[in-house]
């Protein structure tokens, strides 16, 4: 005869059913109640008006985390067609018009209900710094035109201005250290200026107060060293190198920084039309000169070295041109033109020793121009012709200028972006102006939703088991199984 299962009594069945219903109800209510609400985002827009071109960046962050930590991300970027705004000195209106396309894109990218509250900033760097030195009126006109154009869009326009070199360097450092976990120095190479920023080991700020900026980030206070060298961006430094080699006003100039077989006609007036070189213009020069390439890295390095002044230093130590620089410290992120150039030359890998970098460059510079063009048919010729010079300049600036050695060179990472945001000053600039530089370390992260659901379920099950056990006194008696001998 079949033994009756003692659990199949009406009481246990009822308890079990009620228990299961209770658990399902508890978990369902808890899960629904605590479901993460769809994120609402806020936005900010920064236009980086560089010397060579303007780029627009849209940042986004969760709406409820305004003052919280590390949550601002780059959502979108747009490269403005044409040259930098400083090149529109003669026709300022066009500087404003040039921004329209990217601004329209921004209108599409930012949800329209957020337009009015989205701050919009334009920061101009060394191109406008130079125009401002050269022709103040023209620089003001460019800003007027740009302002007028930007005010025509539905965002909360917060102004257009020239960043100081110190701001440019410091905000580049903030961007890198906001996005990265460890403290990293920042190296930014532009077309018209270049910046170095890092936290020195022992830093006596009083030695050169103009090179120091204090920041509080993620609970730590930092005394940052920063310097911006105007005219030492790669386009202006090329002008200086060409100027150095055309002092006597020759008709033909042989340049070790350009490939053998390279030959173009250049205009003297155009070359010397910049405050970085205008004082050196030869008194008597023809209209044009023929710029030909020789392709010799070591000779090119000698030319570049003449552009740094190492003779005077009124501080305990200097980089070059009499500028104070404390000993280098820690790892560095090198971005903008540092990255473009080293990436083209396949030299971004930090494990490549400095000596190999130089040998590769020497080999690259020696390659005939025709061959280079054949190998890279899609690269813009202006960029292509200048990579030998730019690579040589980068190595010389880092080693002779900033004193990187073969050991410390390997601590430089050539980077384009960090965690999806472009490395550059724009993010740091916006964080600062919106008071969103996180002063304190992030709170320990709350339990993720999945973890919360699992814990609620496990506790509910445990309670249910305890409940069943507590009913033990009224459990039906188990009938003894026949013993097998
Ligand atoms: O694809 C590229 N290859 C090589 N150089 C590039 C490329 N894209 C941008 N650059 C260079 O990067 C530099 C960017 O400088 P930027 O316009 O930011 O000037 P700034 O920071 O001195 O005001 C310019 O020299 C520009 O020519
Ligand atoms: Ca720049």
User: Could you tell me if residue 20 is inside a domain?
Assistant: no
Q: Active-site residue 168, yes or no?
A: yes
Q: Which residues of 171-190 are buried (b: 16+ CB within 10 A; e: fewer)?
A: bbbbbbbbbbeebbbbbbbb
User: Could you tell me if residue 348 is inside a domain?
Assistant: yes
Query: Residue 289: beta bridge partners?
Result: 266
Query: Residue 290: beta bridge partners?
Result: 252, 265
Q: Please tell me if the CB atom of residue 388 comes closer than 6 angstroms to any atom of ligand 1.
A: no
Question: Hey, what are 91's tokens?
Answer: 């026709």
Q: Report the distance separating Cα 457 and Cα 454, nearest Å.
A: 5
What is the SS3 string spanning 284-332?
CCCCEEEEEECCCHHHHHHHHHCCCCCCCCCCCCECCCCCECCCCCCEE
Ligand 2 centroid distance, CA of 195 (Å): 9
Residue 129's closest CA among 168, 101, 95?
168
Ligand 2 centroid distance, CA of 383 (Å): 16
User: Probe ligand 1: pick from 169, 239, 336, 344, max atoms within 8 Å of CB?
Assistant: 336
Query: What's the pLDDT at 9?
Result: 76
SS3 253: strand
Q: Please tell me if the CB atom of residue 50 comes closer than 6 angstroms to any atom of ligand 1.
A: yes
Same domain, 293 and 400: yes
Q: pLDDT in tens for each of the 485 residues of the chain?
A: 455 666 677 777 777 777 778 777 777 777 777 666 667 999 999 999 999 999 999 999 998 866 666 689 999 999 999 999 999 999 999 999 999 999 999 999 999 999 999 999 999 999 999 999 999 999 999 999 999 999 999 999 999 999 999 999 999 999 999 999 888 999 999 999 999 999 999 777 779 999 999 999 999 999 999 999 999 999 999 999 999 999 999 999 999 999 999 999 999 999 999 999 999 999 999 999 999 999 999 999 999 999 999 999 999 999 999 999 999 999 999 999 999 999 999 999 999 999 999 999 999 999 999 999 999 999 999 999 999 999 999 999 999 999 999 999 999 999 999 999 999 999 999 999 999 999 888 766 566 677 777 777 787 788 877 777 777 777 766 555 555 54
User: Could you tell me if residue 8 is inside a domain?
Assistant: no
Helices (H), 367-438: 369-375, 381-396, 406-409, 426-433
Which CATH number is 128's domain given? 3.30.420.40
Same domain, 408 and 432: no
Helix axis angle, 165-179 to 126-134, nearest 10°: 170
Same domain, 330 and 290: yes
Query: What's the pLDDT at 434?
Result: 94
Q: State the pTM of this model.
A: 0.87
Ligand 1 centroid distance, CA of 62 (Å): 32
Same domain, 451 and 368: no
Helix axis angle, 354-366 to 381-396, nearest 10°: 140
Q: Please tell me if the CB atom of residue 41 comes closer than 6 angstroms to any atom of ligand 1.
A: no
User: Could you tell me if residue 77 is inside a domain?
Assistant: yes
Q: Please tell me if the CB atom of residue 228 comes closer than 6 angstroms to any atom of ligand 1.
A: no
Q: Please tell me if the CB atom of residue 130 comes closer than 6 angstroms to any atom of ligand 1.
A: no
Same domain, 368 and 271: yes
Which CATH number is 284's domain given? 3.30.420.150
With beta carbons less than 8 A apart as the criterion, state whether 45 and 57 touch: yes
96 assigned to a ligand binding site: no
pLDDT digits (tens, 9 = 90+) for 444-460: 656 667 777 777 778 77
User: Probe ligand 1: pick from 49, 86, 167, 190, max atoms within 8 Å of CB?
Assistant: 190
| Ordered strands of the 331-336 beta sheet | 212-217, 220-230, 193-198, 184-189, 331-336, 412-414
Same domain, 262 and 304: yes
User: Could you tell me if residue 108 is inside a domain?
Assistant: yes
Q: Report the distance separating Cα 100 and Cα 103, nearest Å.
A: 5
Query: What's the pLDDT at 21?
Result: 81
Query: What's the pLDDT at 183?
Result: 87
Same domain, 456 and 403: no
Same domain, 266 and 322: yes
DSSP 199-234: --SS--GGG-GGGEEEEEETTEEEEEEEEEEET-SH
Ligand 1 centroid distance, CA of 189 (Å): 8
Same domain, 276 and 403: yes
Q: Which residues of 368-396 are buried (b: 16+ CB within 10 A; e: fewer)?
A: ebeebbeeeeeeeeeebbbbbbbbbbbbb
Residue 129's closest CA among 64, 194, 173, 183?
194
> Among residues 414, 439, 461, which one ends one of the domains?
414
Give the domain extent around 355: 230-414
**ipTM beyond cut 0.90:** yes
Question: Hey, what are 316's tokens?
Answer: 């305990």
DSSP 457: H
User: Could you tell me if residue 199 is inside a domain?
Assistant: no
Same domain, 475 and 444: yes
* Residue in the block written with tokens 């088991």: 465
Q: Which residues contact 423 (CB under 8 A, 6 or more apart)?
A: 172, 175, 176, 179, 186, 333, 335, 336, 339, 415, 416, 417
SS3 43: strand
Number of domains in the chain: 2
Q: Please tell me if the CB atom of residue 125 comes closer than 6 angstroms to any atom of ligand 1.
A: yes
SS3 194: strand
Q: Report the distance separating Cα 328 and Cα 193, nearest Å.
A: 20
User: Could you tell me if residue 35 is inside a domain?
Assistant: no
Q: Please tell me if the CB atom of residue 222 comes closer than 6 angstroms to any atom of ligand 1.
A: no
Ligand 2 centroid distance, CA of 66 (Å): 27
> Among residues 357, 381, 414, which one ends one of the domains?
414
- The single residue of 93, 168, 279, 386 carrying the catalytic annotation is 168
Q: Report the distance separating Cα 34 and Cα 211, nearest Å.
A: 50
User: Probe ligand 1: pick from 193, 340, 416, max atoms within 8 Å of CB?
Assistant: 340
Q: Which ligand is nearest to the CA of 237?
A: 1
Same domain, 85 and 110: yes
User: Could you tell me if residue 34 is inside a domain?
Assistant: no
What is the torsion angle, in degrees rounded to the nearest 10, for the CA atoms of residue 107, residue 429, residue 82 and residue 422? -90
> Among residues 357, 379, 414, which one ends one of the domains?
414
Query: What's the pLDDT at 38?
Result: 65
Same domain, 253 and 390: yes
């Amino acid at each position: 005869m079949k033994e009756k299962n003692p659990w199949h009594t009406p009481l246990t069945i009822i308890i079990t059913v009620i228990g299961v219903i209770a658990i399902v109800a508890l978990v369902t209510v808890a899960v629904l109640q605590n479901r993460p609400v769809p994120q609402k985002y806020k936005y900010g827009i920064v236009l980086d008006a560089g010397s060579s071109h303007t780029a627009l960046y849209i940042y986004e962050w969760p709406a409820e985390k305004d003052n919280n930590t590390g949550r601002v991300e780059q959502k979108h970027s747009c490269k403005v067609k044409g040259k930098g705004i400083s090149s529109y000195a003669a026709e300022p209106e066009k500087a404003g018009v040039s921004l329209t396309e990217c601004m329209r894109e921004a209108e599409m990218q930012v949800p329209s209900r957020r337009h009015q509250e989205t701050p919009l900033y334009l920061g101009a760097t060394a191109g406008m710094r130079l125009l401002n030195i050269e022709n103040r009126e023209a620089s003001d006109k460019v800003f007027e035109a740009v302002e007028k154009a930007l005010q025509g869009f539905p965002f909360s326009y917060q102004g257009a201005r020239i960043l100081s070199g110190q701001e440019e360097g410091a905000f580049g450092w903030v961007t890198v250290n906001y996005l990265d976990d460890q403290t990293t120095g920042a190296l930014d190479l532009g077309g018209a200026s270049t910046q170095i920023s890092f936290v020195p080991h022992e830093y006596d700020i009083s030695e050169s107060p103009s090179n120091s900026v204090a920041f509080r980030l993620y609970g730590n206070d930092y005394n940052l060293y920063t310097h911006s060298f105007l005219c030492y961006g790669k386009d202006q430094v090329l002008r200086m190198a060409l100027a150095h080699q055309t002092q006597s006003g020759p008709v033909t100039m042989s340049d070790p920084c350009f490939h053998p077989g390279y030959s173009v006609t250049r205009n003297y007036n155009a070359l010397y039309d910049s405050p970085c070189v205008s004082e050196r213009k030869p008194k008597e020069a023809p209209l044009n000169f023929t710029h030909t390439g020789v392709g010799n890295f070591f000779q090119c390095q000698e030319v570049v070295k003449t552009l740094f002044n190492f003779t005077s230093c009124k501080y305990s130590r200097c980089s070059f041109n009499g500028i104070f620089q404390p000993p280098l410290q820690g790892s560095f992120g090198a971005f903008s033109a540092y990255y473009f150039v080293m990436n083209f030359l396949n030299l971004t890998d930090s494990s490549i020793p400095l000596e190999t970098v130089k040998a590769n460059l020497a080999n690259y510079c020696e390659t005939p121009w025709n061959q280079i063009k054949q190998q890279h048919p899609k690269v813009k010729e202006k960029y292509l012709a200048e990579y030998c010079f730019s690579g040589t300049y980068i190595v010389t600036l880092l080693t002779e200028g900033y004193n990187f050695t073969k050991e410390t060179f390997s601590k430089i990472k050539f980077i384009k972006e960090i965690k999806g945001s472009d490395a550059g000053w724009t993010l740091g600039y916006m964080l600062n102006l919106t008071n969103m530089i996180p002063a304190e370390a992030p709170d320990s992260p709350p339990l993720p939703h999945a973890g919360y659901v699992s814990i609620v379920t496990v506790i509910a099950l445990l309670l249910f088991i305890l409940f069943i056990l507590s009913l033990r006194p009224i459990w039906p008696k188990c009938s003894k199984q026949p013993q097998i001998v």
